[in-house]
Amino acid sequence: MTSANPSPHLSIVIPVLNEAPTLRAQLALLQPLRRQGVEVIVVDGGSRDDSVHIAQPLTDRVLTSPPGRALQMNLGAQHARAPTLLFLHADTQLPGDAVNQITNALNARAWGRFDIQLSGRSGWLPIVSWWMNKRSRLTGIATGDQGIFIRADCFKTVGGFPEQPLMEDIELSKRLKRVARPACLSVKVVSSGRRWDQHGALATICLMWRLRYRYWRGVSATQLAKEYRDAR
């Protein structure tokens, strides 16, 4: 489906892979933004469920790509028509005033991200959320769960997401930090804590910290992605 909106002021790019159970409800939340001139692009990475069928009437464009968030988000950015990009995970919900928050932030900065609130059953999730936000402010590194937004020209200048199977958000943040520190918004996106609920909060925390440490030590993203899949 192609947008009838000739000049969107924000393009939201959503990478998707087998998200049918929750995708309709997530995209429904974005329909008021579409009516306000926001472009919504879903990039499917080869779903075997009804994700594409669900997305078509609820988006401005549905693209298909080889699997991999970096590949999918880069493709979406190539087709986006707005001067501002927001990369949003399929299980993340925006705050009500997200567009104004992004617009105001990018008047002063080239890129930024929201604070995050993880939703789920585990009592550890508020602590994990707090630490993710704190760490991001200290390091200037954003995660994809936090909803990374960026001026389209800046995204192009740094070469987009590195096409690697894991830690693409960290590597993009490193590239962007050479341009400017991020705008760290205190308003929160709400993201699913399903991986903590499914695999255990402490086990997931330890896994993610181990992977980040090994990436910092120079282990390749390809090797880490294999370890991540094996651990799950």
Q: Residue 62 belongs to a domain with what CATH number? A: 3.90.550.10
pLDDT tens per residue, range 158-175: 999 999 989 999 999 999
In a domain, 72, yes or no: yes
Mean of pLDDT values over 112-128: 93
Span of 76-80, 131-135, 185-189, 215-219 with lowest mean pLDDT: 215-219
Residue 231: band (very low, low, confident or very high) from pLDDT cuts 50, 70, 90:
low
In a domain, 67, yes or no: yes
In a domain, 25, yes or no: yes
For 109, the domain range is: 10-194
Q: Which of the pair, 199 or 168, is modelled with greater confidence?
A: 168
Mean model confidence pLDDT for the chain: 92
The CA distance from 141 to 116, in Å, is 13
Domain tally, the chain: 1
SS (H, E, C) the chain: CCCCCCCCCEEEEEEECCCHHHHHHHHHCCHHHHHCCEEEEEEECCCCCCHHHHHHHHCCEEEECCCCHHHHHHHHHHHCCCCEEEECCCCEECCCCHHHHHHHHHCCCCEEEEEEEEECCCCCHHHHHHHHHHHHHHHCCCCHHHCEEEEHHHHHHCCCCCCCCCCHHHHHHHHHHCCCCCEEEEEEEEEECHHHHHHCHHHHHHHHHHHHHHHHCCCCHHHHHHHHHHHC
Question: Which pTM value belongs to this model?
Answer: 0.92
